[in-house]
Chain A
């Protein structure tokens, strides 16, 4: 168990600058999730921590040691790969024992650890099988087991659940969380699935184009995204964005946009003061919209035309047209709405997000 510190980490492949000046501190026993769209440099970062990829510049510290030049075997880490990478010619038992054998553990100790890990993962009855005789979920467990038996300082996961079907993924996600709680090993977990990131991570790092956008606890990221990218990336359905102009009407700040005319309460107007007279991006989460009967008193509602109704059971997603733009509203399942209905949608001013149009940073 150890903390991992990444300082000013860069990686270039010839002309591609894949990882740009990443700074991170992963605390001891923490489950840190790296999330971002495809090609944003998550895997590259993880592989540099593992020692599988050379570092262009910067430092990686595991525990108290700078590991920049250490080969993977000396870093005391274990990695779980997306395609499991089980040794096809070895039984499940030997797959799990391999790392210990290489490190010259005594036979009884190997046996004890393999059986302990198999017990944690519920794969005791599979120990004699070959990987090709296992289902996807079972292979995933074996791959986890192979990491667990080593008792490493750090677990590295590269999209370990992405080859599983949706149901199994949810199940393994829960299990992974339990295992981490039980073992308490520091973990770095790469995924492009924001739900996985939100549910698994003690903290989450959002990356884009090789740059860290924001680091924080999942709900902090969700509620207070640092920029438009993070806001749009986390949450499903994604946040609605609209461009609005901020104006000052008799001391009150108003946001005017396509089909929107919102009178903002004073404390929010205060926050936006420096942007009065400018265009900004307004962000509204789908669940922060609700259907309003009649005109809302505080001037925080707008007219919309229903285009699509998606009934998910626990909620209804309304795709609505606002002015010439579209928005998604997640409303209660009791709402009666039909296509082409004219509605009024009300919003909670506390839950509005504003982003600078040019820098995209949150205001």
Chain B
């Protein structure tokens, strides 16, 4: 905390923090206002008399109801959830084992392998989707959830591996050595000692991976074509923008509802998540 006079606290702490929070949350607020704003207000010119751009006097649930009943939004949510959960689980499993191996086992080229994995993470998806599209087609996976479930780990596994590797490295080696003297095999030491301690790291890797796959756009756009297979990010933007007509109300309602699961997960695990990022293991 900042010491000293009250005004100092305001000038150096509360006011900057307030500005920052407003800056961060404004888009969400805008999303909320737009999604409950009736159409006749939405399409009114900015400078019209009596126009209140930052709030509405006649909130309506029309857009949200439309979104849920007239579009495949619920189906998209289900698709996204399924894809995000399965690809997160796959990536977390691989990332756990790879991260553990890279941080703890001595084998030739371990260091190089670690760097190599990191480099694959740096290859932009905007380049990678072209060859991947080819592969997806050859395996006849196009337009199925599996196209995404199997491609998301290409960036999620490196990500999880690196995050967890860092986390495992921060766990004192003696803990595991002690477990092995105590009679645990390497597997058991990993299962009963290392993983439980790494729970914050594992959770934050999982949350991150989940968020990344939930928000992923380009692979979903390329690999899925039929409306009922789409994910939220692609469904909302492709089905609610018809030609040059933007259904702003439904678009924003979709964006709002689409961010709820992620926001929910974050707020639920925020403590673990911060602990995971700052990598604190208390002995």
Of B175, B182, B188, B197, the most chain A CB neighbours within 10 A belong to B182
B193 contacts A87, CB within 8 Å?
Answer: yes
The 4 A-B residue pairs with the shortest CB-CB distance in the complex, in nearest-first order: A99-B182, A102-B183, A85-B174, A85-B178
A103: chain B residues within 8 A (beta carbon) = 183
Task: Decide: B196 and A89 in contact? CB cutoff 8 A.
Answer: yes
Query: Could you say which residues of chain A place their CB within 8 Å of the CB of B199?
Result: 89
Specify which chain A residues have a CB less than 8 angstroms from the CB of B184 in the assembled complex: 73, 98, 102
B283 CB–A CB distance under 8 Å: yes
A99 to B183, CA, bound (A): 6
Given contacts A73-B185, A83-B172, A102-B188, contact A88 B180 (CB under 8 A): no
User: Closest chain A residue to B175 by CB distance?
Assistant: A85
Contact B283 A88 (CB under 8 A): yes
**Chain A: CB-nearest residue to B198:** A89
> In the complex, are the beta carbons of A132 and B282 less than 8 A apart?
yes
Provide the bound-state CA to CA distance between A84 and B193, in Å.
15
- Where the two chains meet, the residues of A that have a C-beta atom closer than 8 Å to any C-beta of B are 50-52, 71-73, 75, 77-79, 81, 83-89, 98-99, 102-103, 131-132, 139, 146, 150
Q: List 17 A-B contacts (CB under 8 A).
A: A51-B181, A71-B180, A72-B177, A72-B180, A79-B177, A79-B178, A81-B174, A83-B283, A85-B174, A85-B177, A87-B179, A88-B175, A88-B281, A88-B283, A98-B179, A99-B182, A146-B182
B178 and A81 contact, CB distance less than 8 A:
yes
Interface contact A87-B175, CB-CB below 8 Å: yes
Residues of B184-212 at the interface with A, using a CB-CB cut-off of 8 Å, are 184-185, 188, 192-193, 196-197, 199
Chain B interface, number of residues (Cβ within 8 angstroms): 21
Contact A78 B197 (CB under 8 A): no
CA distance A40 to B177 in the complex (A): 22
Which residues does chain B contribute within 8 Å of A78, judged by CB atoms?
181-182
Closest to B186 in A: A71
**Distance A103 CA – B283 CA, assembled complex (angstroms):** 24
Q: How far is the CA of A99 from the CA of B178 in the complex (A)?
A: 9
Closest to B183 in A: A102
CA distance in complex: A102, B179 (Å): 9
Given contacts A86-B283, A146-B182, 8 further A-B contacts (CB under 8 A): A73-B185, A85-B174, A87-B178, A87-B193, A88-B281, A99-B181, A102-B188, A146-B178
Cα–Cα distance between A88 and B198 once the two chains are bound (Å)? 11
Residues of chain B within 8 A (CB-CB) of A86 are 283
- Nearest residue in A to B195 (C-beta to C-beta)? A89
Chain B stretch 239-283: residues in CB contact (< 8 A) with chain A = 281-283
Q: With a CB–CB cut-off of 8 A, which chain B residues contact A75?
A: 181
A89 CA / B172 CA spacing, docked (Å): 14
CB distance from A163 to the nearest CB of B (A): 10
Contacts of B181 in A (CB 8 A): 50-52, 72-73, 75, 77-79, 99
Of A73, A79, A81, which is in contact with the most chain B CB atoms at under 10 Å from its CB? A73
CB–CB A73/B180 < 8 A: yes
A279 to B282, CA, bound (A): 57
The residue from B174, B182, B192, B197 contacting A83, defined by CB atoms under 8 A apart: B174
A88 touches B188 (CB 8 A): no
List residues of chain A with CB within 8 A of the CB of B177: 50, 52, 72, 79, 81, 85
Establish whether residues B182 and A73, one from each chain, have CB atoms under 8 Å apart when the complex forms: yes
Q: In the bound complex, what is the Cα–Cα distance between A128 and B85 (angstroms)?
A: 36
Whether B282 contacts A88 by the Cβ 8 Å rule is: yes
Q: How far is the CB of B168 from chain A (nearest CB, A)?
A: 14
| Chain A positions within 8 Å of B185 at CB level | 73
The answer on a CB contact under 8 Å between B283 and A84 is yes
Q: Give Cα distance in the complex from A103 to B183, angstroms.
A: 6
Query: What residues of B have a CB within 8 angstroms of the CB of A83 in the complex?
Result: 172, 174, 283
Given A81-B178, A83-B172, A83-B174, is A88 in contact with B183 using a C-beta cutoff of 8 Å?
A: no
User: In the complex, how many angstroms separate the beta carbon of A296 from the nearest chain B beta carbon?
Assistant: 56
B133: shortest Cβ distance to chain A, in Å? Answer: 45
Which residues of the partner chain A approach B183 to less than 8 Å between Cβ atoms? 73, 99, 102-103
Q: Which residue in A52, A72, A73, A89 is a CB contact (below 8 Å) of B197?
A: A89
Complex: A50 Cα to B282 Cα, angstroms = 25
Give the CA-CA distance A131 to B178 in the complex, in Å: 15
> Chain A residue with minimal CB distance to B178?
A85
Whole-angstrom CA separation of A77 from B184 in the bound complex? 13
B283–A132 touching, CB < 8 Å: yes
Contact of B182 among A52, A84, A98 (CB under 8 A): A98
Q: C-beta contact mask, B142-178 vs A, less than 8 Å → 1, else 0?
A: 0000000000000000000000000000001011011
Residue of B nearest to A82 (CB): B174
- The chain B residue sitting closest to A152, CB to CB, is B181
